Amino acid sequence: MNLNGKVMALAGGLLTAPTAAHAFSVGDSWDWQLTEPADLNRSVKVIDLHPDLVTSEDLATLKTTGIKTICYVSIGTLERTAADRKAFPAEVIGKTYGDWPDEKFLDVRRFDILLPLMKARFESCKAMGFDAVEPDNMDVHDNDSGFPVTVVHTIAYVRLLAATAHGLGLKVGQKNVPELTEELVDTFDFAIAESCYQDRSCKSYIAYTEAGKPVFDAEYTDRPIHFSKACEIGKKYGISMILKDRELTAPALWCP
């Protein structure tokens, strides 16, 4: 059996329950907050949040207003502040992520170790009341992680994680890696992009919107941008676009 066959077989074994989370739609307005303090007073359809910023009660309140919620989970790095940090053995912890010195890369080839740990994180998101998960740092293969991770390892790993999320009744999104869209669009329910206008990669996600799945993009204030032009590109490709600071605090600017 080839690698793809093994991945599908494993994924099938992980699908223990039907997906029950609310659907996400192309054009849904959104916000993204990963750094405290959170501001949940938002007139949007979707909010992506770090779970440490909110309580189950907060999420229940958002649900009553019709807002769908996405739970941030790093699946390719280990944060220094992660509550479950001690559960990760040293053998799967690699080099420091240069842009984010409080994070170290994970050896995503080690399904045996990482899948149970990530499943526990997804279960925590589910228990809190989130509708979906954002599996961040899918691009370990494209970084100096300290491990010989290839794109084949990445695809296998994230497909298994998607199956895990779906088995828990959670939606799950592709995070960045626009070059892998064609490989992943059938597996994931939406995509989250960073700086697709600034990096000229928005068109790379068009397979999602063509499949009726939304793309959520954040452009950043620490890079030059003509945001009205960015919004025109977002509208052209059906992408829900916002302008945020790099730390993803509460302030945001939405396209008209």
100-147 pLDDT, tens digit per residue, is 999 999 999 999 999 999 999 999 999 999 999 999 999 999 999 999
* CATH H superfamily, domain 28-254: Aldolase class I (3.20.20.70)
Percent of the chain with pLDDT over 70: 91
Average pLDDT, whole number, for the chain?
A: 93
Confidence of residue 22 (pLDDT cuts 50, 70, 90): low
Residue 23 confidence (pLDDT): 83
Is the pLDDT at 15 greater than 60? The verdict is: no
Domain locations in the chain? Answer: 28-254
Q: Is the pTM of this model over 0.75?
A: yes
Per DSSP, helices labelled H in the chain are 3-14, 56-64, 111-128, 151-167, 181-184, 206-210, 227-237
| DSSP states along 7-45 | HHHHHHHH--S---SPP--TT--EEEE-SSSP------S
pLDDT, one tens digit per residue, over 139-189 is: 999 999 999 999 999 999 999 999 999 999 999 999 999 999 999 999 999
Q: Is the pLDDT of residue 6 over 90?
A: no
